[in-house]
Amino acid sequence: MAVTETERTAMRRALEIATSGPRGLNPQVGAVIVSPSGETLAEGWHRGAGTAHAEVDALSKLTADAARGATAVVTLEPCNHTGRTGPCAQALIDAGVTRVVYALDDPGAESSGGAERLRTAGIEVVSGEQAGAAHDLIADWLELQRLGRPHVTVKWAQSLDGRAAASDGTSQWITGPEARADVHRRRAAADAIVVGTGTVLADDPALTARDGDALHTRQPVPVVIGTRPTPPDATVHRHPHAPLFFATHDVTAVVAALGERGVQRVFVEGGPTLASAFIAEGLADSVLAYIAPVLLGGDRLALTDIGVATIGDARRLQVDEWIPLGADLLAVARPVATRVDSVSRSEGS
**How many other C-beta atoms can be found within 10 angstroms of the C-beta atom of residue 340?**
12
CA distances from 209 to 163, 205, 214, 222, 298 (A): 24, 11, 9, 11, 31
Residue stretches of the annotated binding site for Zn(2+)? 53, 79, 88
Angle, CA of 286, 289 and 290, to the nearest 5°: 140
Question: What string of DSSP letters covers 251-314?
Answer: HHHHHHHHHHTT--EEEE---HHHHHHHHHTT--SEEEEEEES----SS-BS----S--SGGG-
d(CA 137, CA 278): 27
With the CA atoms of 246, 249, 254 and 256 taken in that order, what torsion angle do they form, in degrees rounded to the nearest 10? -150
Chain centre to alpha carbon of residue 325: 25
d(CA 247, CA 225): 6
Backbone phi, psi, residue 138, to 5°: -120, 30
Catalytic residue from among 55, 77, 110, 178: 55
Residue 43 annotated as catalytic: no
Which residue from 294, 338, 30, 23 is spatially nearest to 175, judged by alpha carbons? 294
d(CA 280, CA 28): 33
Residue length of the chain? 349
d(CA 37, CA 253): 53
Q: Which residues contact 180 (CB under 8 A, 6 or more apart)?
A: 173
Chain centre to alpha carbon of residue 228: 28
286, 330 contact by CB (below 8 A): no
223, 295 contact by CB (below 8 A): no
Active site residues: 55
